[in-house]
Amino acid sequence: MCGIVGVINGATVAQQLVSGLRNLEYRGYDSAGVATHTGSGIWRHRSTGKINELEQSLASVLEDGPAGIGHTRWATHGIPSQANAHPHMSEGIAVVHNGIIENFAKLRDELQSNGACFTSETDSEVIPHLIAHYQNQGMDAIHATRAAMSRLDGQFALAVLFEDMPGTVLAARQESPLALGYNEKEALIASDMLAFAGHTDAEMHLGNGDLAIVRRDKVIILDPDFKTVDARWTENKTTGQVQCLNGHDHFMHKEIHEQPAILSDLNGHDDQWCQMMAQMPDAMVKAQHISVVACGTSYYAGMTARSWFEKYAGISISVEFASEFRYRAGAIRPGRAGLFISQSGETADTLAGLRHFNNHGCPTIAVVNVPTSAMAREAEMAVPTRAGSEIGVASTKAFTAQLATLLRLAIELGSRNGTLDTKNYRRIRREMEEMPNLVREVLSNEHIIKSVTSLLGDCTSTLFVGRGDCYPLALEGALKLKEISYIHAEGFAAGELKHGPIALIDENMPVFVLAPDTPLLVKTSSNAREIAARNGKLFVLTDDDEAAGFKGEKGVEFIKMPPCTEDQIPFVYVTALQLISYHAALDRSADVDRPRNLAKSVTVE
């Protein structure tokens, strides 16, 4: 969501602030701004729109200095506007903030009664006013910031610049992620160190309640009791090549095409899997039930994986929306374990669910793409998906990597608890080794998928239907289409159409039917017949058009899929669905990599 950057180098920082913000564009935003310490005071500039617009407007008014902070805002409180953009200022204090201050209205009323003048609609503006309030009571900058932090309810990551502290930035966090980095010339602050890819020698993630005093050559971290915290620096191997398109027009397209290589890589790492399984808590191995907790695309990965854990590990599974899970009475019971899925490992609702499980003493596993994330650190066991950095807001390769990791976890767990025999374990491993080539076959037919997708024309609504493991894929296909093309799309279990959704079918309704050759194909074909009988436009994804029962029929479009086993279906069919969404978005001239209103990492509840 919102992005924070900070640079302290003793020279000039504005250009690097803008560069860092550009690297965080993928997180989603509607406005941006920077503040620099010029040596004699704080200079601030903000604008709505894209980073390019900020950079262009900076050219004629830029005042630079040795330390600065920057921000990209994704609106929560108040419309996108220059006044609501960060940094916010009060009495020589500039603040950028990620998160939500839940008690901002009460604090705002209190501060206004003491003479504070607010100029925005945001919750964030209470922070510089609150720090200034405590400074006016005689506190220094550090104690005033800590006092302000103690008054804030909710989630926050902060970077604070003070007029009377040139060359220093204060950084703090509670729940929202914030990291520090350094090289021989500068200290860096970011909500995601991808902002400074290729520029940091080492990085560390602040802990909850930490307050860091960041200077070019020194970092001091204080806990809530003002005790010094040992810095936990780790080597940063991220290169500046992360955001290269490598000949593709969009990051989403590049990341779709990276999936075969990722699947090939995930077929290895046997030694690491042996180590992880040896470290798996016995309570997880013996769990009678696993709650899979996730949001969005990760939730659909969990839905897909449910059948794998039930078939191969013999464990009953429920898949829960993280945003709802912990508010339900009785969600956690004895003998239950938690499996938490998140690309970033910082998804606020999923992280809160993990902590809810931890507080009840239940075993937890996090399946994440970022091994240094909060979820990876706080779960009893973290399983990396190894997808690499994903820049496109709509998740593609991260989803596929989650599926592969979850399938591997299911069979490793089944092997350990005795549910899965050696013969079937080896069969599934062989099928996993075949998946990269099956996905490559789908990608080789991209021109056909593009042609079929063009037939959507100017439709305003679309349905996706499937049975069994294809039901969560239908949900994921619908999500992808609505995310980046802005076509209203819904996914349904094919057998549920007649219980209400079939009322939507007419000659203007395209319906994508996922119809692989499985024992459920005959039932899926019957449901497709019901759609055709009501003049719906059928787009059938199948590896057997004769078995699907529509070969040669007028008005039915086929997307031929390679034959595959039931466990391979999700990997093969979701690749086609990703390409359908991508080309539908291109046909409508949508911003594929940065769709409106969306954020890559959702770090607020």
Any idea which residues carry the catalytic annotation? 2, 600
Give the CA angle between residues 172, 174, 179 to the nearest 5°.
50
Retrieve residue 314's tokens: 């013999």
Q: How far apart are CA 413 and CA 283, in angstroms?
A: 12
Q: Rg (Cα) of the chain, in Å, rounded?
A: 26
Q: Can you tell me whether residue 289 is helix, strand or coil?
A: strand
Asked if 545 contacts 516 with a C-beta cutoff of 8 angstroms, the reply is no
Q: Which amino acid is at 586?
A: L
Residues in CB range of 75: below 8 A, 6 or more apart: 30, 31, 84
Q: How far apart are CA 46 and CA 86, in angstroms?
A: 7
Within 10 angstroms of residue 312's Cβ, the number of other Cβ atoms is: 23
Q: How far apart are CA 343 and CA 370, in angstroms?
A: 7
Three-state SS letters, 459-487: CCEEEEEECCCHHHHHHHHHHHHHHHHCC
Q: How far apart are CA 442 and CA 361, in angstroms?
A: 44
Q: How far apart are CA 455 and CA 204, in angstroms?
A: 50
Compute the Cα dihedral for 516, 517, 521, 527 and give only its sign. Answer: positive
Asked if 135 contacts 170 with a C-beta cutoff of 8 angstroms, the reply is no
Residues in CB range of 131: below 8 A, 6 or more apart: 90, 93, 95, 141, 144, 145, 148, 160
Retrieve residue 487's tokens: 């076509």
Retrieve residue 434's tokens: 């075949």
Helix, strand, coil percent values for the chain (each to nearest 5) = 40, 20, 40
Asked if 341 contacts 367 with a C-beta cutoff of 8 angstroms, the reply is yes
E strands in 125-238: 154-162, 168-174, 179-182, 187-190, 202-205, 211-215, 218-222, 234-235
Residues in CB range of 168: below 8 A, 6 or more apart: 8, 67, 162, 213, 214, 215
Q: Which long-range contacts (CB under 8 A, 24 or more apart) does 19-23 make?
A: 20/70, 20/188, 20/190, 20/195, 20/196, 21/51, 21/54, 21/70, 21/71, 21/72, 21/195, 22/51, 23/194, 23/195, 23/196, 23/197, 23/243
Asked if 442 contacts 576 with a C-beta cutoff of 8 angstroms, the reply is yes
Q: How far apart are CA 409 and CA 382, in angstroms?
A: 11
Residues in CB range of 11: below 8 A, 6 or more apart: 66
Give the CA angle between residues 13, 18, 21 to the nearest 5°.
125
DSSP for residue 115? T
